[in-house]
Each structure stands twice: as structure tokens, then as C-alpha cells.
């Protein structure tokens, strides 16, 4: 069969709108996607059987080595909301605060907060049929409620651009306003602290940590950036603030989020490093700042990122062995720690200022002279 005929046949078999409501772009490769999905469907079926056994009889989900392994291999769509709620702590918070979400919506409102949210509603997923005003029901109202409730709940953050895309994905997966609110709280309040605050200190710090990891693992790329004076925030700020939403394919983003809710923000470093390493030769061919920026956009497209299972396997391919952590070179980022005691360092023994990276760190025995890099186990 000629390629044109294969493409036409695949276009007829693959729906124009994906299972999450997103319209496929005009240049979408239906034939390549159909080939990938036929293989991925077998993997999904096997994972669904294993997850059904794990969750049999309404059994709760607790963090463990087994759950970690299962999550890294993907959570089936039918179990995703339940598992996210459990491993992130969102379910526990919701159970402790019955009715709190609805009280937030019924309470006093900030006109500035409402205006900021309304401004972004029509910009949120214009390619998703469920977020259009003509949709029934229209998810714009649900999105507005979740963002308004969260901005009221966390006045230090309020509303920040990027949160609309994150809340939108949560709504598509949970199909539940209250659960989406508590998952957003888990992300913004605990997993990614200071990413969405007015100063965005956590976001800025984690981008600097990524730059240091690139210097360590991909020095040629780091040299290219430094040679052209390119700031990493110019290249990857959207990756981090949108958690790869609207950057990578939907199913790939959801696989990343499976790990994000269970293991924390270190998965963001893994994904970023995998993208850069996989396309290192392509990036190194850049000859100017605009060329570098364009190549960083291009590496988020194509077969490598569409084939989500292979992509996630690549992201974990260089995991460090368990056991004693390796000593890593420290980076020169400023750090603002004050000691609660003079004893051994532990997360619970610190009072930390907002400038701290949100990522899990390798905790040394005592105060580090320099900022330690995250251990990506």
C-alpha cells in the first residue's frame, strides 16, 4: 500500500478528537500514531490487569516499592485519579476537610482574582472541545471554580498563569471539581513549593539546578549555552511552570504526572535531561541564539515523545542504583538555610526560606558549603 493510502486509511480509523477532548493538529501523523498505539495497547492491557489486582476490593494505595514500580510503568486511565489522590496526599487532605472546597466558593471573593482567572479562561485549551463555550457541559465553569477556590485558599499564590493548564488537566482526568482542587493544592502547596508564588523562587532555583545537571552530564550542551549567553529560563521555563502541558503529547504528560504525584519534582529533571540528551547532536548544530531556541522547541515534538512508554523508559534508564547515594559535585547556587539544631541534617530539622529548591535533595551530614544536586533515583 502506498504511503498516501496508508495515511488516508489511518486517518479514517483514528478519531480526529483524542480521548481527552483535544483535536489532533493538521500535521498529525495518523499512520505513525496508529502503529505506536497498536503496540502500546498491549502494554496498557497488561498494566490494567496488574493494577486491577493491586486495587482489588477497594484496597487503598500506599507508597511502596511495588507502587513506585507500577506507577513508573503507567497508571491506567480508569485508576489514575484514584491513585493520584492517594499517593499525593490529596485524598487525606480532602477527608480531613469535608465541605471546605464548597465553603471557599461560597465565601468572600476577590474581584482582582476573579478578573485574572477570567482573562485566561478562553486561552485555556482552545483545541479542546470540552473547554469551548458551546460544549455541554462546558469545562470553563469547572476550571473557573477550581482556580477561584484555590486562589482564595492560598492567598500567597492567588492565581498564576500556567495554573489554568494544570487545573484543566486535573479536571479532564478526575472529572471532579473537588478532587481537582485538592490535587492542585498537593502540587502547588507541597510538591512544587514556590513555583507559583509572585517571586517564583522555587521555579527559578530548579531551572538553575537543571543548568547545573546539564553541566555535569552534558557539558557540550552547557558550553554551547554559555558560549551564546543563553539563559536556561528562556528555554525551559514553560517546561517547568506548565509541567510539560501543551509542550509534550497528552499521554506522555500524564505518564510524567503519574511519577510527579508519587515521587515529586525530580521527574521534571529526568524528563528535561532525557529530551536534551536524546537530541544533543541536533542541539549542538545550532549556530545562534534564535537557532538554539527553535531547536529546543523542535525536540518536544516527534516520534520520540509520542511513544510515551519508550520515552519514560529512557527517562529512567540511567537511574542510580539504590543503596548508598553517590557523592555529586555541588553547584554554586545561593542557599538560604537556618539551622534548627547543630545535629545531623534532615528535612525535618530545618526551617527553610523560600529560596530553597523544591526538588528532593541529597542531604549531607552537615551544612553544605554549596548547594547539592538532586539525586534522581
The CA distance from 374 to 371, in Å, is 10
The CA distance from 374 to 356, in Å, is 12
Q: Does pLDDT of 191 surpass 90?
A: yes
DSSP 45-85: HHHHHHHHHHTGGG------HHHHHHHHT---HHHHHHHHH
More confident residue, 125 or 359: 125
Q: Is the dihedral of CA 307, 309, 312, 314 positive or negative?
A: negative
More confident residue, 247 or 354: 247
Q: Is 179 exposed, middle or buried (0-12, 13-18, 19+ CB in 10 A)?
A: buried
Sequence-distant (≥ 6) Cβ neighbours of residue 94 within 8 angstroms = 85, 101, 178, 179, 182
pLDDT score of 323: 40
Asked if residues 236 and 296 have their Cβ atoms less than 8 Å apart, the reply is yes
Q: Is 364 exposed, middle or buried (0-12, 13-18, 19+ CB in 10 A)?
A: middle
Q: For helices 201-217 and 219-228, what crossing angle results, to 10°?
A: 120
The CA distance from 139 to 65, in Å, is 36
Terminal CA-CA length for the chain: 46
As a whole number, the mean pLDDT across the chain is 85
Q: Quick one: average pLDDT of 57-85?
A: 92
Tell me how far the alpha carbon of residue 265 is from its chain's centroid: 8
3-class secondary-structure state, position 279: coil
Q: Quick one: average pLDDT of 158-178?
A: 96
Q: Is the dihedral of CA 138, 141, 142, 143 positive or negative?
A: positive
Q: Does pLDDT of 132 surpass 80?
A: yes
CB half-sphere exposure, 168, CA atoms < 13 A: 31
The CA distance from 188 to 260, in Å, is 12
pLDDT digits (tens, 9 = 90+) for 281-337: 999 999 999 999 999 999 999 999 999 999 999 999 865 444 434 434 444 343 332
The CA distance from 79 to 135, in Å, is 26
pLDDT score of 340: 29
How many residues are given for the chain? 377
Q: Quick one: average pLDDT of 343-372?
A: 34
Q: Which of 77, 98, 94, 72 is nearest to 85 (CA)?
A: 94
Q: How confident is the model at residue 5 (pLDDT cuts 50, 70, 90)?
A: confident
More confident residue, 9 or 33: 33
pLDDT score of 27: 86
Amino acid at each position: 500500500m502506498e504511503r498516501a493510502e496508508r495515511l488516508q486509511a489511518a486517518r479514517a480509523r483514528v478519531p480526529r478528537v483524542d480521548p481527552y477532548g483535544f483535536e489532533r493538529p493538521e500535521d498529525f501523523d495518523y499512520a505513525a500514531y496508529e502503529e505506536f498505539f497498536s503496540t502500546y495497547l498491549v502494554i496498557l492491557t497488561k498494566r490494567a490487569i496488574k493494577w486491577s489486582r493491586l486495587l482489588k476490593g477497594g484496597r487503598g494505595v500506599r507508597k511502596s516499592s511495588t507502587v513506585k514500580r507500577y506507577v513508573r510503568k503507567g497508571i491506567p486511565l480508569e485508576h489514575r485519579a484514584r491513585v493520584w489522590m492517594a499517593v499525593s496526599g490529596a485524598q487525606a487532605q480532602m477527608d480531613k476537610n469535608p465541605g471546605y472546597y464548597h465553603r471557599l466558593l461560597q465565601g468572600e471573593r476577590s474581584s482582582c482574582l476573579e478578573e485574572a482567572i477570567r482573562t485566561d479562561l478562553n486561552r485555556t485549551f482552545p483545541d479542546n472541545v470540552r473547554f469551548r463555550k458551546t460544549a455541554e457541559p462546558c469545562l470553563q465553569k469547572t476550571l473557573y471554580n477550581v482556580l477561584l477556590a484555590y486562589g482564595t485558599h492560598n492567598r500567597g499564590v492567588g492565581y498564576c498563569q500556567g495554573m489554568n493548564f494544570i487545573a484543566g488537566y486535573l479536571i479532564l482526568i478526575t472529572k471532579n471539581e473537588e478532587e481537582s482542587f485538592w490535587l492542585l493544592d498537593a502540587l502547588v502547596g507541597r510538591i512544587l513549593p514556590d513555583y507559583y508564588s509572585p517571586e517564583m523562587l522555587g521555579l527559578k532555583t530548579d531551572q538553575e539546578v537543571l543548568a547545573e545537571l546539564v553541566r555535569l552530564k552534558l557539558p557540550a550542551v552547557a558550553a554551547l549555552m554559555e558560549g551564546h549567553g543563553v539563559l536556561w529560563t528562556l528555554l525551559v521555563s514553560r517546561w517547568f511552570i506548565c509541567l510539560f502541558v501543551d509542550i509534550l503529547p497528552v499521554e506522555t504528560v500524564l505518564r510524567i504526572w503519574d511519577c510527579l504525584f508519587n515521587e515529586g519534582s525530580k521527574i521534571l529533571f529526568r524528563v528535561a535531561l532525557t529530551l536534551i540528551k536524546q537530541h544533543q547532536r541536533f542541539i549542538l548544530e545550532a549556530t545562534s541564539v534564535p537557532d538554539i531556541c527553535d531547536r529546543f522547541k523542535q525536540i518536544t515534538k516527534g516520534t520520540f515523545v509520542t511513544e510515551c512508554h519508550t520515552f519514560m523508559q529512557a527517562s529512567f534508564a540511567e537511574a542510580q542504583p539504590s543503596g548508598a547515594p553517590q557523592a555529586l559535585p555541588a553547584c554554586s547556587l545561593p542557599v538560604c538555610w537556618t539551622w534548627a539544631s547543630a545535629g545531623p541534617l534532615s528535612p525535618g530539622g530545618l526551617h527553610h526560606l523560600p529560596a530553597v529548591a523544591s526538588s528532593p535533595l541529597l542531604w549531607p551530614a552537615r551544612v553544605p558549603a554549596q548547594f547539592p544536586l538532586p539525586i534522581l533515583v
